[in-house]
């Protein structure tokens, strides 16, 4: 859809000059992620209006909305210095010709006010070349300390309307902060906004912790801790920080826990006498049973969004590969057949793809494939990339990239499913094991 739009308008501009604006689109303004966007859509944000007490937040909100959109790689902001129209208020009718003249395809207008400890953010979105609003204007309010959430919500609306995809900016990511030398690394679990802001640490770094994973509603975290001296799958309440081992039974190590999409089940790996299999636990009662029973390593289970299937990794063929089985166990079906080793599969929340880590020779990749293993595509390549986690809309993954050598460090990066927009998450310091939580309410 987008491609068609871009082609027609580009042709028109090249051949017919001013005739371009006359060309009607055959659908709403739309940019498609899936084909790999080479040319970002130009948009403008008309200077936001202070409707009372906004102060510094006026520019901060506007800048964050712009940063969210340009950070996707799908959009390019036309700088304010190029703007012709200078509307007096949020209600001033849009001077479409002025925005067409600078080739802004989408226009965002907005206003901010602060009252009673709350920030109120209003916005409208316009399709400049068809001269129409794109959806209704909306407003969001939040405590002034949460102004970023109001801005993310507005940006999410713009993103969703222009891409047809689900929103994801207003979300949190659990991760592991790392410090200290490589042979004595200290780790603690943190939670941050998707863009690296508002970090809160949930554990101190006195105990080695690995791989946090959110519950579907974001209220709890599963992770693996060495608090007992042995790797143990734990569950933590994100608000109270109270944590307990998942498995009261003493045995081998338990790790790699993950919730089912309805929160009713937890799947995890349990090791007994050196052999690792996948187990299922009733999150309410704690009752558990094995889902695999093989002498090979079975780990990294992840549910399909409808809860009916589980993808996991197993080295039953001699090397780690990806398999899918029913959520109640049974014979798994192998879905990865490429060269090298596959691991850490995660089912997209949209259900259409599985993201994974693949090692070929000395290189690591984050890749995606259809859930039957077809259309495999590598999104990244480096010395060591691992552990993808899906954004709530299933169109972006965050992962860990480790640099080589004695001073090598992990950093978080995100990439969209076309592999075209890879960027580091803005964080001061080393971090690993991201888990992208749900879209906030």
Partner 1 sequence: MKTFVKFAAIGMLLATAACSRPAQQGPMVNDPYANMNQGVGVSALPGTAEHFKATAGDTVLFPVDQSTLTPEARTILANQAGWLNQNQGFSALIEGHADEQGTREYNLALGARRASSVQEYLISQGVGSGRLRTVSYGKERPLEICSTEECYTKNRRAVTAVSPGAGM
Residues forming the site for partner 1 (CB under 8 A)? 181-185, 208, 210-211, 224, 229-231, 252-253, 255-256, 269, 271, 273-276, 297, 299-300, 313, 315, 319-320, 341, 343-344, 357, 359, 362, 383-384, 386-387, 402, 404-406, 408, 433
Least Cβ distance, residue 384 to partner 1 (angstroms): 7
Least Cβ distance, residue 230 to partner 1 (angstroms): 5
Biggest alpha carbon–alpha carbon distance for the chain: 76
Closer residue to partner 1 in complex, CB, 301/349: 301
CB of 108 closer than 8 Å to CB of 161: no
Closer residue to partner 1 in complex, CB, 5/342: 342
Orientation of helix 56-71 relative to helix 147-163, angle to 10° = 40
Closer residue to partner 1 in complex, CB, 112/234: 234
Residue 387 burial (10 A CB sphere; 0-12, 13-18, 19+): buried
DSSP code at position 166? P
Closer residue to partner 1 in complex, CB, 56/183: 183
Least Cβ distance, residue 314 to partner 1 (angstroms): 10
Tokens representing 331? 């014979």
Residue 105 and residue 103: Cα distance in Å, rounded? 6
| DSSP secondary structure letters along 34-94 | TT--SSPEEEEEPPPEE-SS-THHHHHHHHHHHHHHHHTTSEEEPPGGG-----SSTTSPP
Residue 60 and residue 56: Cα distance in Å, rounded? 6
Tally of CB atoms within 10 A around 193: 18
Closer residue to partner 1 in complex, CB, 193/435: 435
Closer residue to partner 1 in complex, CB, 273/285: 273
Least Cβ distance, residue 10 to partner 1 (angstroms): 43
CB of 124 closer than 8 Å to CB of 108: yes
Least Cβ distance, residue 434 to partner 1 (angstroms): 12
Least Cβ distance, residue 219 to partner 1 (angstroms): 24
Determine phi and psi for 338, rounding to 5 degrees.
-75, 175
Least Cβ distance, residue 323 to partner 1 (angstroms): 14
Closer residue to partner 1 in complex, CB, 14/362: 362
């Amino acid at each position: 859809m987008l491609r068609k739009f871009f082609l027609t308008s580009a042709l028109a501009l090249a051949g017919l000059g001013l005739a371009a604006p006359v060309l009607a689109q055959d659908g709403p303004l739309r940019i498609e992620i899936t084909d790999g966007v080479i040319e970002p859509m130009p948009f403008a944000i008309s200077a936001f209006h202070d409707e009372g007490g906004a102060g510094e937040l006026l520019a901060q909100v506007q800048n964050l909305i712009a940063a969210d959109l340009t950070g996707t790689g799908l959009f390019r902001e036309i700088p304010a210095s190029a703007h012709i129209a200078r509307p007096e208020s949020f209600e001033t009718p849009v001077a479409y010709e002025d925005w067409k003249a600078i080739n802004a395809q989408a226009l965002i207008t907005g206003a901010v006010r602060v009252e009673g400890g709350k920030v109120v953010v209003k916005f409208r979105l316009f399709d400049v070349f068809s001269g129409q609003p794109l959806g209704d204007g909306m407003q969001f309010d939040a405590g002034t300390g949460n102004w970023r959430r109001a801005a993310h919500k507005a940006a999410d609306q713009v993103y969703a309307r222009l891409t047809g995809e689900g929103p994801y900016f207003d979300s949190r990511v659990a991760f592991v902060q790392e410090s200290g030398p490589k042979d004595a690394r200290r780790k603690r679990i943190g939670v941050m906004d998707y863009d690296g802001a508002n970090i809160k640490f949930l554990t101190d770094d006195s105990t080695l912790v690995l791989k946090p994973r959110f519950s579907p509603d974001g209220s709890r975290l599963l992770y693996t801790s060495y608090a007992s001296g042995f790797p143990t799958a734990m569950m933590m309440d994100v608000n109270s920080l109270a944590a307990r081992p998942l498995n009261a039974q003493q045995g081998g190590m338990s790790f790699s826990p993950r919730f089912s999409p309805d929160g009713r089940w937890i799947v995890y790996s349990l090791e007994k006498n050196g052999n690792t299999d996948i187990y299922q636990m009733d999150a309410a009662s704690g009752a558990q049973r094995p889902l695999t029973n093989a002498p090979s390593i079975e780990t990294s289970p992840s549910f399909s969004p409808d809860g009916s299937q589980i993808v996991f990794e197993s080295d039953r063929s001699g090397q780690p590969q990806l398999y899918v089985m029913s959520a109640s166990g049974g014979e798994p079906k192998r879905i990865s057949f490429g060269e090298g080793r596959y691991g850490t599969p995660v089912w997209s929340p949209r259900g259409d793809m599985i993201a994974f880590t693949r090692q070929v020779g000395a290189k690591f990749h984050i890749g995606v494939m259809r859930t039957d293993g077809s259309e495999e595509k590598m999104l990244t390549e480096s010395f060591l990339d691992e552990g993808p986690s899906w954004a709530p809309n299933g169109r972006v993954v965050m992962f860990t990239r480790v640099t080589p050598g004695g001073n090598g460090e992990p950093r978080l990066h995100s990439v969209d499913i076309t592999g075209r927009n890879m960027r580091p998450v803005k964080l001061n310091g080393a971090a690993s094991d991201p888990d992208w939580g749900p879209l906030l309410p």
